[in-house]
């Protein structure tokens, strides 16, 4: 009998669905437990659902039984890909869970920075009546979405409702619905120069690390707003701070950072033209239900075909 171990908590109904999808397998939930029994279950697991420090230890253990790791998040930059590849362990993600929540957060930041709602909220804290003379409009503007996956596509769809011109950057350059034009990354600076809003939806890979640096912020309009909901490491933080302080871009909405949690003394906290959220744009009460749909589909395919069918990580592209 094979063993499936989850390190994240599914409710009773969700756990029953997992067990039903895998007759002949034993399902074990070790979320919140740091016991010898939990560690033994992980060590003997054929399939692990989720990733944490305990799973990391199992990956590096020489005698683990792991054949497939189903990450319950979309990003894999914290997971040792080379080690999994060397072990012959398959890795899949929960990509597709986030589009609704994150696209809404993107537009919450975009509209707040454009209409100066963030400034009004800060003034409210000090009971200061200070109407802004610099409110703008998003309608009819140009937005570039860097990383045109599921989140980027949902964001593009919403942008079309504002009559925005939507430009995209993706590795293949292949066109996609809701985008007016799609380009490859070699045209990034050209796209940035046209954009009123730049939305970074990129995963963190060897190719995307510090993709946004001084050169890219210099290419952007001084009136442009930069939003990063992808990964903090895709942006050179020092270059971003310099661009914000020197007025080379107008503002930023940031949910991800090179260092998390963001230290209390970090200069980003005090910049008036920045909205910060603590890596939470993907949070939603529907998260585990949506993740479960992917997990069940992958489990059924694994049982019948020996591998998952959705969101298999490509070792070369690192996502």
Q: Is 260 a catalytic residue?
A: yes
Catalytic residue among 118, 170, 183, 231: 231
Angstrom distance (rounded) from CA 241 to CA 236: 9
Neighbours of 11 (CB within 10 A): 12
Yes or no: say if 248 and 220 are a contact pair by the CB < 8 Å rule: yes
Distances (CA, A) of 20 to 15, 17, 46, 297: 9, 5, 17, 12
Catalytic residue among 174, 190, 207, 260: 260
Yes or no: say if 165 and 142 are a contact pair by the CB < 8 Å rule: yes
Neighbours of 111 (CB within 10 A): 15
For the chain, the C-alpha Rg in angstroms (whole number) is: 22
DSSP states of 259-272 as a string?
Answer: SSSPPTT-GGGG-T
Q: What share of the chain is helix, strand, coil (3-state, %, to 5)?
A: 40, 15, 45
Catalytic residue among 8, 279, 290, 310: 279
Yes or no: say if 299 and 22 are a contact pair by the CB < 8 Å rule: yes
Q: Is 139 a catalytic residue?
A: no
What angle separates helix 99-115 from helix 150-161, to the nearest 10 degrees? Answer: 50
Q: Is 137 a catalytic residue?
A: no
Distances (CA, A) of 217 to 237, 238, 254: 11, 11, 15
Yes or no: say if 169 and 188 are a contact pair by the CB < 8 Å rule: yes
Q: What are the residues facing 167 on neighbouring strands?
A: 144, 181
For residue 88, the 8-state DSSP code is: T
Catalytic residues: 231, 260, 279
């Amino acid at each position: 009998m094979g063993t499936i171990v989850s390190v994240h908590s599914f409710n009773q109904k969700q756990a029953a669905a997992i067990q039903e999808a895998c007759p002949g397998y034993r399902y074990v939930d070790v979320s919140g437990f740091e016991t010898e029994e939990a560690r033994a279950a992980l060590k003997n697991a054929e399939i692990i659902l989720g990733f944490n420090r305990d799973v990391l230890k199992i990956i590096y253990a020489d005698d683990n039984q792991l054949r497939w790791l189903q990450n319950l998040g979309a990003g894999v930059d914290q997971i040792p890909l080379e080690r999994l590849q060397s072990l012959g362990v398959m890795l899949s993600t929960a990509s597709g869970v986030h589009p609704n929540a994150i696209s809404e957060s993107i537009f919450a930041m975009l509209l707040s920075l454009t209409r100066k709602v963030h400034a009004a909220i800060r003034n409210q804290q000090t009971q200061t009546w200070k109407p802004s003379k610099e409110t703008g409009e998003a309608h009819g503007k140009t937005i570039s979405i860097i990383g045109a996956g599921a989140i980027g596509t949902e964001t593009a769809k919403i942008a079309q409702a504002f009559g925005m011109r939507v430009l995209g950057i993706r590795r293949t350059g292949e066109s996609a619905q809701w985008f007016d034009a799609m380009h490859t990354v070699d045209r990034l600076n050209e796209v940035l120069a046209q954009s009123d809003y730049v939305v970074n939806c990129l995963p963190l890979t060897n190719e995307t690390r510090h993709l946004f640096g001084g050169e890219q912020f210099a290419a952007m309009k001084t009136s442009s707003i930069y939003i990063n909901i992808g990964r903090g490491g895709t942006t050179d933080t020092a270059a971003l701070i310099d661009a914000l302080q020197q007025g080379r871009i107008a503002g930023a909405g940031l949910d991800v950072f090179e260092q998390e949690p963001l230290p209390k003394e970090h200069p980003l906290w005090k910049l008036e033209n920045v909205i910060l959220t603590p890596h939470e744009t993907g949070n939603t009460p529907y998260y585990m239900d949506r993740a479960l749909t992917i997990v069940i589909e992958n489990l059924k395919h694994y049982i019948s075909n020996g591998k998952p069918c959705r969101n298999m990580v490509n070792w070369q592209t690192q996502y």
